[in-house]
Structure 1
Amino acid sequence: MAQGPPTTSWVRYDDAGGGARRGSHEAYDDQPGYDPAAERGGYGERAGYEERGGYDENGRFEARRYDQPAAAWEAGSGAYAQTGTQQPWRRQPQDLHDEPAPARSRPRAVATGDGDEPDNPFTGNRLFTVLLFLGGLGTSVSLWVFDTQPGAVNDLPTLMLAIGRVTGLIGGYLLFIQLLMMSRVSWLEDWVGSRDLLRWHRGLGTSLCVFVIAHIVFIVYGYALLAETDVITQTFTIITTLPKMVEALAATVIMIFIALISIRGLRRLLSYELWKGLHLSAYLVLLLGYGHQVAVGADLSGRFASVFWPGLTALVISAVVWGRIVEPLWMNLRHRFEVVEVVNEGRNSFSVYVDGRGLDRLGARGGQFMRWRFLTGGAWWQSHPFSLSAAPNAQWLRLTVTAVGKYTERLAELEPGTRVWLQGPYGTFTAERRTQRNALLIAGGSGIAPIRALLEEMPSGTTVIYRASRQDEVVFRDELEELAVRRGAQVFFVVGGRNEPGPRRLFTTSGMRELVPDVSQRDVYLCGPPGLVDAAVDLLRELEVPNAQIHLDPFEF
């Protein structure tokens, strides 16, 4: 692969936030009297370092001096060293100049290096999955069609009951699909992708609630018309006389409760641990509701229905057991993961290095995430998703964490030798999804973790834009510079508050074109807070970047 110059730059703007200037040091190295360290705010002979630039309240660029020692990359050794620390590395990671170990995953017809534009192998997968879903939905509805005699629907009560039966079948089918998407079975994650599964899971969750509530309303109203009684009396009669109705009522209450706490505004009020624990009660909906379906579901008594519906149930239960128990157990017994080292990366950020047996057979790729459970006091009962912050290799895995709460603060105190229970890898936020020759990677905040890992597997000509609110929140600075040299990439650091002129200009069509003139001919990978991702997507659409070239990995549960 062709190597390019070190083109990392601190983007500077004039007082009004216009006229981007790039603070690259490569172009001036040969000029008399030029000091690259001064231009970059790099490391002189002083104990401290100068940050490479910031913005004052008027949007003007200014250098700032900090006395905090800088994290240095020891070229050639592949080892991280923290200036001023007394605890050396006990285990050396792979040299950054070495190529990452090849991931042993399902082969794709994709080129990730120099050459022709790659094909996107996921478009056909998504279409086939949608057709398969619609086929199952149509089959479920057909159970009512084949079980209903011609002329059976001939008045308002029978029409209401017919609608109630159809909506009940659709609701039951959607429940199966919801639980299947929660199973974490690897073939489904690999086939569709975690982000699409999450998006479909949320969308179908709303539809599930609508159809189940419609089923209840139409059935109760239809029977009330037949019995010539009021709805309240008929509701009480159904609950007290029909079999398995108490269980069905409990399943409905649980389902509505899960739907309410999944609303974005309410979800953000809950901790991840609490939300996840409550969300797992969805499995009770299947257990409680299945008896009701079989006991009173007239459409499930036919010959085909008596095979199709239990078959769906067996498929879903098998997928859940396989994806949540069997696969993780096998992977962890095979690889035996444990913590090697915890390394400070700067303000409130640190990296955890994990090793294990046969990591080259793990099948992970840069940009993917895993679910990490650290088997130590206070953390063993929690499993959290974190992206890999370096492309996987045969020696170690790395996650990088920003301490924002009790759990993440506790991870900074992990001791070497702590066992780790992993699930994954998950996600299709990988170089394999490219449809164009070149790529643009945009990161915000801790979204730099998967972007930094992804850069290792991208071809030369890749551009990275890294947004941060403060200079001391920038992590992987030296690694990004090293990767810019090795991969022939451009890396732009855009630092400042969202309301400052410079960062505001970044999310305008002219500002983006200044940094990336050919943005519409690139695949764009986005990872960051929802606000940044939404703003970037709106901008990319203004720049006429096709949806197929926009790849998102917004980090929210």
Structure 2
Amino acid sequence: MITETPARIRRTGQAGAAYALIWAFLLVNLAIVELMLANPATPAHNTLTSIGRILGLHLAFVMALQLLLIARLPFLDRRLGMDKLTTWHRWTGFTLFWLVVLHPTFVMLGYSQLDKISFFAEIPNLAKQMPVLLGMIAAALVGVVAVTSVRAARRRFSYEAWHATHLVVYVVIVLGVIHQVYEGSAFKTNNFTQAYWWGLWIFAIGALLTGRVVLPVLRNLRHRMRVAAVVAESDDAVSVHVTGRDLHKLHARAGQFFLWRFPGHNRWWQVNPWSLSAAPDGHSLRLTAKAIGSTSAGLRHLPVGTRVFAEGPYGALTAVARTRPDTLLIAGGIGVTPIRALFEDETLSGDLVVLYRVRTPADAVLLGELRNLARLRHARLHLLTGRTSRENQPFSPDNLRGLVPDITERDVYVCGPAPMTHEVLRSLRTLKVPARQRHVELFRLGA
């Protein structure tokens, strides 16, 4: 019989509270939106404009929800993890895109029927009204963001360029709110509807500004972080040691990551998510990155003393998520960084096994540190090398069971390239490792 450990009870309760809050928020707000549709201030001109109005109301709510998902609220991030929130952000973004396409389409179809002109002739006709024109501009910008989010297009952008493109989301929000205030009939139904929409937008925008601007600025003014040392780990990987004041008050944990900027060395909009590659000790932080883009490659040339602006800590890939006494840590490539930090975390007690997947031993960043930790912690470390092929499938269910026979009785932490991570998760599901024992970080960030 499996007994509930305090860690499991605490983690389950924290995640359950977050899910309950999200569902309550969704259901209450959707109920209010449906009531607005049932009692409009003015009747729709025809069926097509009525459909457009329905889509428009839901579009406004989804846009506010999207803001909350990218606000990096500590309550949700610590309980669910930014990775899960970003997955929801991505799917909400596609919903937003289709609502942006369909809402104006039905509105213009309805007005073209009313004015007895063609759909395309109605576009410049409605665009003469400034609130409508602002809505059209916002819709076009949403299209740009959606196109750059498609995986085929995303691969053509550097992370920095992709992130900068997504900053137009904030322009979309401003244009969308102005459009709704001056054009939306549901906004003006009565005093309650106006109070609701203003309250929703103030809450969503306030949460965004608090999580993305106010808290990061206050924390960085308080901690005054600077580069203390830059250490080359290999030909294409480098570690940056950061010090500052009262870093213990950040309450950072092994397995978490920050969004890092280096003002004066890089442009302000160049921000990257890099994990802590060592367990934080309250006095310093260490990140390790591989030279993939221009920003990561430039870390090697950071002067000591460079100012550091860090947002975080973020992520739920921590020992707090542990539900079992024993642990399996799986890393791929530079995804070893949070795994290396977790390996050092003494709160991960019990039997430890580490699987580190690289193409060649020369690609194994921080391997020496992992070996030293394995000796100190009496843990097992397996370096899995070679090209993946039909004969070499290190993360197949059979191979995982062969390396770790009691895998179903362990918590499993995974971080690495997306294809490897998905392969590991498929095998874990095949092996019937419970979902609560699978902990993953993919670094799929929103804007």
Paired position in structure 2 for 1:359 = 247
Is residue 263 from structure 1 mapped to residue 150 from structure 2 by the alignment? yes
- Deviation per CA, 1:308-361: give whole Å up to 9, x if none: 101111112212222222111111111111111111222421211111111111
1:405 matched to which residue of 2?
Answer: 293
> Aligned to 2:191, what secondary structure does the other structure show?
coil
Counterpart amino acid of residue 28 in structure 2: G
Q: 1:285 to 1:426 in 2, by over 3 A?
A: same
Report the residue type matching 2:66 in the other structure. Answer: Q
Partner SS for 1:463: strand
Report how far residue 143 of structure 1 moved.
1.6
Question: Does the CA contact (< 8 Å) of 2:330 and 2:415 recur in 1?
Answer: yes
Q: Percent identity?
A: 35
Contact 1:335 1:358 in 2 (8 A): yes
Instruction: Name which of 355, 360, 373 aligns with 1:465.
Output: 355
- One-letter code aligned to 1:160: L
Q: Out of 371, 382, 386, which is 2:259 matched to?
A: 371
Aligned partners of 1:345 and 1:475 also within 8 Å:
yes
Q: Which amino acid aligns with 2:295?
A: Y
Residue 182, structure 1, aligned to residue 70, structure 2:
yes
Please say if 1:135 is aligned against 2:28: yes
**1:72-114 deviation line (CA, Å, top 9, x unaligned):** xxxxxxxxxxxxxxxxxxxxxxxxxxxxxxxxxxxxx9756xx
2:167 paired residue number? 280
How far, CA to CA, are the matches of 1:162 and 1:387 in structure 2?
49
1:39 paired residue number: none
Q: Does the C-alpha gap of structure 1 residues 326 and 210 become closer, same or farther in structure 2, counting only changes over 3 Å? A: same
**One-letter amino acid of the counterpart of residue 414, structure 1:** L
Equivalent residue of 1:304, what SS?
A: helix
Q: Is the CA contact (8 Å cut-off) linking 1:520 and 1:545 kept in structure 2?
A: yes
Aligned ranges 1:243-254 → 2 under 5 Å: 243-254=130-141
The CA deviation at 1:381 is 4.8
Shift of 1:118: 6.6
Does residue 225 of the first structure (1) align with residue 225 of the second (2)?
no
Aligned-residue offset at 1:213: 1.6
For the residue of structure 1 that corresponds to 2:288, the secondary structure is: strand
Deviation track 1:472-530 (CA, whole Å, cap 9, x = no partner) reads 111222322332244343221111222383xx232222211111111122222111011
Matched, 1:147 2:40: yes
Distance 2:252 2:440 in 1: 18
Whether the 8 Å contact between 1:386 and 1:399 is mirrored in structure 2 is yes
**Map of 1:165 onto structure 2:** 53
Per-residue deviation, 1:556: 4.8
CA distance in 1, matches of 2:376, 2:29: 49
Structure scoring higher RCO (CA < 8 A, sep ≥ 6) equals 1
User: 1:113-512 alignment to 2 at 5 Å?
Assistant: 119-120=11-12, 121-147=14-40, 158-240=46-128, 242-301=129-188, 302-378=190-266, 381-457=269-345, 458-499=348-389, 501=391, 504-512=392-400
Report Cα offsets for 1:28-60 as digits up to 9, x if no partner.
xxxxxxxxxxxxxxxxxxxxxxxxxxxxxxxxx
Cα distance in 1 for partners of 2:394, 2:50 equals 56
Unmatched runs of 5 consecutive residues or more in structure 2: none
Question: 1 CA distance for matches of 2:181 and 2:298?
Answer: 48
**CA pair 118-286 structure 1, distance change in 2 beyond 3 A:** closer
1:223 Cα deviation after fit: 2.3
Q: 1:523 aligned to 411, 414, 423, which one? A: 411
Counterparts of 2:280 and 2:412, CA distance in 1: 22
Q: What letter corresponds to residue 354 of structure 2 in structure 1?
A: V
Q: Quick one: distance in 1 between partners of 2:291 and 2:130?
A: 51
What is the CA–CA distance in structure 2 between the aligned matches of 1:420 and 1:127, rounded to whole Å?
37
**Greater mean alpha carbon deviation, residues 372-381 or residues 357-366:** 372-381
Q: Secondary structure at the match of 2:97?
A: helix
Structure-2 change in CA distance of 1:165 and 1:395 (3 Å): same
Q: Secondary structure in 2 aligned to 1:424?
A: strand
Question: In the alignment, what sits opposite 1:20?
Answer: none
SS of alignment partner, residue 111 of structure 2: helix
Partner of 2:351: helix, strand, or coil? coil
Q: CA RMSD in A?
A: 2.2
User: What residue identity is the alignment partner of 1:164?
Assistant: G
Q: Which amino acid aligns with 1:200?
A: W
If the length of structure 1 is used for normalisation, what is the TM-score?
0.74
Alpha-carbon separation, structure 2, partners of 1:223 and 1:191: 47
Q: Distance in 2 between matches of 1:550 and 1:292?
A: 44
Structure 1 residues not aligned, in runs of 5+:
1-108
Q: Which stretch has the larger CA shift, 260-269 or 130-139?
A: 130-139
Q: Find the counterpart in structure 1 of residue 421 from structure 2.
A: 533
How many pairs does the alignment contain?
438
User: Which whole-Å CA distance do the structure 1 matches of 2:10 and 2:183 have between them?
Assistant: 53
Distance 2:139 2:79 in 1: 31
Q: Describe the superposition over 1:241-296 as per-residue Cα deviations: whole angstroms up to 9, x where unpaired.
A: x4411111110100111011011110110111111111010111111121211112
Decide whether the 8 Å contact of 2:83 with 2:444 is kept in 1.
no
Task: Give the deviation of 1:131 after TM superposition.
Answer: 3.2
Q: Go from structure 1 to structure 2 and tell me whether the alpha carbon gap of 1:379 and 1:500 turns closer, same or farther (over 3 Å shift).
A: farther
Scaled by the length of structure 2, what TM-score is found? 0.92
Deviation at residue 379 of structure 1 after TM alignment: 5.3
CA distance in 1, matches of 2:143, 2:420: 31
